[in-house]
Amino acid sequence: MLGRNSYTSAEITGARAAVSDLLTSYKALASATDADRSEFESRWVNSLVLALDRPFVHRIRPVSGKDGNPLNEVELIVDSLLVHGGVFRAGSVIKYRADDAVLGLRDGDPVRFTLHDFERLADAFFVELEIRFLEPVV
């Protein structure tokens, strides 16, 4: 698939709803099980980040930019999960600054965060996605 420079409101709304459904199901499961919540939460949240990114994986760099915005932060987190064994790598293409990032991960940190962290990241991701990629209503 070719890169994209915009997404419809329905695509963004659908992805937001899918993430919301995952959060709801997690919260129900977490209260109904005796499993080690911390480990489960970390693995679940990492899966949520992949689900957040996938519908918009073909976003193009000229629109998403090279700054450390939430879209690019998610891209780096996904790459760190899929390619770097869950160890955060900032790389060199994106001008990432931990102090300006939603989660503040630093190069070499394990990619492990909480449900609350994910909610903040997802909210920031969708705001940035709408700013940069939402198709204008005609």
The answer, yes or no, to whether residue 65 has pLDDT greater than 70, is: yes
In a domain, 39, yes or no: yes
In a domain, 37, yes or no: yes
Stretch 9-30: mean pLDDT: 83
Top-ranked range on mean pLDDT: pick from 36-40, 50-54, 134-138 = 50-54
In a domain, 120, yes or no: yes
In a domain, 69, yes or no: yes
The answer, yes or no, to whether residue 25 has pLDDT greater than 80, is: no
Query: What residue numbers bound the domain in which 58 lies?
Result: 9-133
105, 111 Cβ separation under 8 angstroms: yes
In a domain, 3, yes or no: no
Name the domain count of the chain: 1
In a domain, 110, yes or no: yes
In a domain, 4, yes or no: no
In a domain, 1, yes or no: no
66, 94 Cβ separation under 8 angstroms: yes
| Tokens (6 digits) for 97 | 């600054």
Stretch 11-21: mean pLDDT: 87
